Amino acid sequence: MAKKNRLKDLSFGQRIYITEIAKGLGLTLKNMFKPKFTMQYPEVKFDPPASYRGRPVLAVEENGQERCVACGLCSRVCPALAIEVQAAETENEKERYPEKFEINMLRCIFCGFCEEVCPEEAILMSKDYELAFTNRADAIYGKDKLLTPVSRLQDRINFVRQFK
Amino acid sequence: MPKIIIDGKEIEFKPGQTVIQAARENGIEIPHFCWHPSLSVSGNCRLCLVEIEKMPKLVISCSTTATEGMVVQTQSEKVIAARNAVMEFILINHPLDCPICDEAGECKLQDYTYQHSVGESRFTEEKNHKEKRIELGPNVMFDGERCISCSRCIRFCDEIVGEKELTFIKRGDRVTITTFPGKKLENPYSMNVTDICPVGALTNRDFRFKSRVWEMAPTKTICSGCARGCNIDLWTRNNEVLRITPRQNEDVNSFWMCDNGRLNTFKHVNANDRVSGPHLRKEGQLIKCGWDEAYAKTLSELKSFAKDEIAALASSSLTVEDTYLVSKFVRSTLNMKNFDFVRKVVAGSGDAILIREDKATNAKGFELMGVEPGKSASGGGLKFDEIISHIESGRIKALILIEEDLIGWNPAFEKILSKLDFLVTISTNFDASTSFANVVFPASTYAEKNGTWINFQGRIQRIRPAVTTIEMERSLDGMSQSRWDKFGTDFDSWGKAKKNDARPTWKIISGLASAFGTKYKFTMAEEIFNEIAHTNPLFTGLDYDVVGENGVQLKTETVKKKVTI
């Protein structure tokens, strides 16, 4: 049986691996004293940048006025059919408001199309990423969970406006 | 026939036709706002401008009569530039509130802005502000800012209804629409202005903000309001009927329908008092029970009466298929003679436009199918009035009441129904009559079944299901579906819409017949119709495909040919 040639013949030093092990351990030792990048989640929370697409929320003005006029475009554009809107009439200048606004977070794929299509800058992708539920009903977020003051979304609004 | 050349295509036209009419008949769409096929020419929107050879300037195609050899350009550079300019002018004062506006999705201004506008406005000044939310009448809301002053609504009231209610006031960009002093927009056809309004200036107050148009699925069916049988679209979302709009049929209703039909013929479909599942009266209460139990109870009770002690009364709004099977069941299975339908004629309620005095949708069908007392093979039976007087005198003790609320129709019948020993009803909703019933079978409404109705002209027209019962499924039954209907699951709130345990009357009757030992081998309404088409010479050659979307005029001598509206 013919001897099978290796692609590269190893030297004696390489064949006993001791030098390689020592090199590896050396690298580990070097990094032990370098600054650490691992985040101690959940003790330490991640603060995402403005470009981050967390769960979609609805903006409320300082005076308590919702921005959403229930036009239904987010619901129409949503590729996963996560959003359900029911409009109703109000006495405000913008005569339409969402009586019901529900996002099914089990359907949501965080694509941000709803934010992009929104003519009122009402639906915005927040930095909220901690989403866990134990049943299907909990995964449907109504207006109680969606409404968020504009002040907390300013970062994202500034980011979105760069692309308009 | 004279010929005209539009965009290089030679087309024939009838003398007297305008360019826009000739183009439309040949599938060339010239954009327009103020022109409407059924209304007079107003020529104020200027959008239908076209270039005609040997004419010095562009002309509006809606008021230019076509002449032999005319050469028309609808897509030339000059025309497109003019169209863009007109769109820019119209959009100067039109608010950008499509997200709020109900018309969005079926708005001609929106469509034309996409198709024929440059996409940007050079108008930086403040837009004109006008009054919003003006109640023109009980059913129509007006938004002054959105109005583009096409005057279609004014011309509709003047020309179609013949009641001068609306007019323009003020001049220039301040022009707006209002009702004459002391008047309201309250003619019986007022809501048609919301359909013909090319923008969202006139909106349906009953439907306002209920749904976006693209969320609903339209079903081509027939109005159940009167014997006219206007062609309609029934718009549903989440298995709920939200609105009705008229569908064009020049032989029946043109583009129009009455407000009563539009508002009052669909709300019972999703009402809370729908009968869901058969009910039996036990210790004075109607208790829900199984289908077999209800059939068995009806069988045993009806068998305890003599044949001439039983009568059956059916609504004259039953479909042709229901009528056929009901009459077959009563005459041959029960071998009974006392069977008539309830005529619902309200004298003086009709008019010369659409509304008929006969409030039942298929009374003509009953006549044409020979379902009249005295016409049965076994000799004369009792007529409606005689049945009532026989119940009163105690000679008729059991009654089968089919899809009819006698007491709701005339409260005087309350003391008649209370005299019965046994009352079976086939009802869509719990009503005054079911409160006397011993057995109530749940019937599908006209929005939940297939069938045909014959209108007063003798025109046979299809009704189609728009709402599902528990036995139906939108995709399998070929019903129209919105995006949400298509992709919803049982876990989505729109997949959990309420469905009733109801069956079409012919199915209930066929179940009842099999309890009596007669088996009808029908699994769908279409099969019954095919049998009718084979047995009744009036229906020869007809099937559901032939009847189609616009119906077929039956060949009867009594029927007048075409009506003009």
Q: What is the CATH number for B395?
A: 3.40.50.740
**Residue B100 distance to chain A (closest CA, Å):** 6
The encoded tokens of residue B519 equal 């088996």
Residue of B99, B133, B487 with shortest CB distance to A119: B99
Q: Which two tokens stand for residue B39?
A: 């209304």
Determine phi and psi for A37, rounding to 5 degrees.
-105, -15
Nearest 5°: the CA angle B443, B448, B450 is 100
Q: How confident is the model at residue B156 (pLDDT cuts 50, 70, 90)?
A: very high
> Residue B416: enclosing H or E segment and its boundaries?
helix B414-417
Predicted confidence band of residue B373 (pLDDT cuts 50, 70, 90): low
Phi, psi of B295 (to 5 degrees): -65, -45
Q: What is the pLDDT, as a whole number, of residue A3?
A: 64
Residue A36 is predicted with a pLDDT of 85
pLDDT score for B564? 41
pLDDT score recorded for residue B491: 83
Q: Is the pLDDT of residue B402 over 80?
A: yes
Confidence tier at B561 by pLDDT (50, 70, 90): very low
Residue B78 placed within a domain: yes
Residue B560: pLDDT above 90? Answer: no
Contacts for B181 with CB less than 8 Å, ≥ 6 apart: none
Cβ B103 vs Cβ B203: under 8 Å = yes
- Direct distance between the N- and C-terminal alpha carbons of chain B, in angstroms, rounded to an integer: 27
**Dihedrals φ, ψ of B277, to 5°?**
85, 150
Answer yes or no: is B484 within a domain: no
Does residue B212 sit in the same domain as residue B355? no
Give the span between the Cα atoms of B512 and B389, in whole angstroms: 27
Query: What is A56-161's CATH number, 3.30.70.3270, 3.40.630.30, 3.40.50.720, 2.60.120.330?
Result: 3.30.70.3270
pTM of the full predicted structure?
A: 0.90
Question: Mean per-residue pLDDT for A158-163?
Answer: 93
Helices (H), B132-278: 152-155, 192-196, 259-264
**Mean pLDDT score across all residues of chain B:** 91
| CA-CA-CA-CA torsion sign (B227, B230, B234, B235) | negative
Instruction: Verify whether the Cβ–Cβ distance B209 to A88 is below 8 Å.
Output: yes
Structure confidence at residue A1 as a pLDDT band (50, 70, 90) = low
Which residue in chain B has the smallest CA separation from A69? B100
CA distance B228 to B361: 7
Cβ of residue A138 closer than 8 Å to a chain B Cβ: no
The number of folded domains in chain B is: 3
Q: What are the tokens at A65?
A: 């006025």
Residue type, B199: V
Same domain, B300 and B416: yes
For B100-120, the pLDDT digits (tens) are 999 999 999 999 999 888 888
Cis peptide before A42 (omega within 30 of 0): yes
Q: How far is A52 from chain B (nearest CA, A)?
A: 27
pLDDT at B116: 85
What is the reported pLDDT for B557? 54
Q: Say if residue B251 is in the same domain as residue B300.
A: no
CB contact under 8 Å between B98 and A71, yes or no, is: yes
Contact across the interface for A72 and B133, Cβ inside 8 Å = no
> Is the per-residue pLDDT at B219 higher than 70?
yes
Whether chain A has a CB inside 8 Å of the CB on B182: the answer is no
- Both B320 and B411 in a single domain? yes
How far is the alpha carbon of B209 from chain A, nearest alpha carbon, in Å? 6
Distance from CA of A61 to the nearest CA of B (A): 18
Q: Is there a domain that residue B164 lies in? A: yes
Shared domain check, B217 and B240: yes
Final residue before a domain boundary, out of B50, B71, B92: B92
Choose one of B39, B72, B92: the last residue of a domain.
Answer: B92
**What letters, b where the CB count within 10 A reaches 16 and e where it falls short, cover B291-306?**
beebbebbeebbeeee
Report the alpha-carbon distance of residue A152 to residue A127 in Å, rounded: 10
How many interface pairs between A and B have CB atoms less than 8 angstroms apart? 48
Alpha-carbon distance of B454 to B228, in angstroms, equals: 9
Most A CBs within 10 Å, among B96, B97, B98, B100, to test the A interface: B100
- What is the domain partition of chain A in residue ranges? 56-161
- Which chain A residues have a beta carbon less than 8 Å from that of B484? 81
Whether residues B209 and A70 touch (CB distance < 8 A) is answered with: yes
How do residues B456-507 score in pLDDT, each as one tens digit?
999 999 999 999 999 999 999 999 999 999 988 888 888 788 899 999 999 9
Assign B188 a pLDDT band (cuts: 50, 70, 90): very high
Query: Which residue of B100, B208, B491 is in closest CB contact with A69?
Result: B100
Q: Is there a contact between B302 and B334 (Cβ–Cβ < 8 Å)? A: yes
How far is B126 from chain A, CA to nearest CA, in Å? 17
Which tens digits make up the pLDDT trace of B25-81?
Answer: 999 999 999 999 999 999 999 999 999 999 999 999 999 999 999 999 999 999 999
Residue from B98, B101, B134, B212 whose CB has the most chain A CBs within 10 Å, to mutate: B212
Both B302 and B389 in one domain: the answer is yes
B491, closest residue in chain A (CA to CA)? A136
Tokens 């002391």 correspond to B182
Domain residues for the domain of B357 are: 279-448+503-553
What's the token pair of residue A35? 């600054």
CB spacing of A71 vs B104 below 8 angstroms: yes
DSSP label of B276: -
What's the pLDDT at B377?
44
Cβ(A129)–Cβ(A102) below 8 Å? no
- Listed residue (B431, B462, B472, B402) closest to B223, CA to CA: B462
Tell me how far apart the alpha carbons of residues B208 and B226 are, in angstroms, rounded to a whole number.
Answer: 25
Instruction: Supply the CATH number for residue B221's domain.
Output: 3.30.70.20
Q: How confident is the model at residue B536 (pLDDT cuts 50, 70, 90)?
A: confident
pLDDT of residue A55: 95
Task: State how far the Cα of B55 lies from the Cα of B115, in Å rounded to an integer.
Answer: 26
Whole-number pLDDT of residue B302: 92
Report the distance separating Cα A74 and Cα A87, nearest Å.
13
Kindly compute the dihedral angle of the four CA atoms of residues B538, B228, B462, B215, in this order, to the nearest 10 degrees: 170
In a domain, B303, yes or no: yes
Same domain for B150 and B31? no
Q: Is the dihedral of CA B126, B127, B130, B132 positive or negative?
A: negative
Chain B residue numbers with beta carbons less than 8 Å from the beta carbon of A95 are 100, 132-133
Give the span between the Cα atoms of A154 and B464, in whole angstroms: 51
| Total residue length of chain A | 164
Pairing mode, strands A123-125 and B3-6: unpaired
What is the pLDDT at residue B59?
A: 96
From A145's Cα to the closest Cα of chain B, the distance in A is 18
Residue B136 has phi, psi (to 5 degrees) of -70, -25
The pLDDT tens digits for A17-43 are 898 899 999 999 999 999 988 899 999
Identify the CA nearest to B68 among candidates B13, B2, B121. Answer: B2
SS3 A106: coil
- Say if residue B403 is in the same domain as residue B549: yes
- Kindly report, residue by residue over B318-364, the tens digit of the pLDDT: 999 999 999 889 888 888 888 888 888 999 999 999 999 999 999 88
Residue B131: list chain A partners with CB under 8 A.
Answer: none
Question: Which residue of B133, B215, B493 is in closest CB contact with A72?
Answer: B215
Residue from A75, A95, A114, A118 to probe the interface with B (highest B Cβ count within 10 Å): A95
Residue contact B209–A89, C-beta within 8 A:
yes
At A47-91, the pLDDT tens digits run: 999 999 999 999 999 999 999 999 999 999 999 999 999 999 999
Query: What pLDDT score was predicted for residue B343?
Result: 87
Shared domain check, B421 and B521: yes
Q: In angstroms, what CA-CA distances link B204 with B135, B142, B208, B522?
A: 11, 9, 6, 41
- The pairing of strands A56-60 and A123-125 is antiparallel
Residue B113 lies in a domain: no
For A45, B298, B436, B512, the CA distances from B292, given in Å and listed in that order, are 63, 10, 21, 9
Beta-carbon-side half-sphere exposure of residue B49 (alpha carbons within 13 Å): 21
Alpha-carbon distance B260 to B225, whole Å?
7
pLDDT band, residue B550 (cuts 50/70/90): very high
The per-residue pLDDT of chain A, averaged, comes to 91
Residue B142 domain-assigned?
yes
Q: Is the pLDDT of residue B509 over 90?
A: yes
Q: Is A123 near chain B, with CB under 8 Å?
A: no
Query: How buried is residue B204: exposed, middle or buried, by Cβ count under 10 Å (0-12/13-18/19+)?
Result: buried
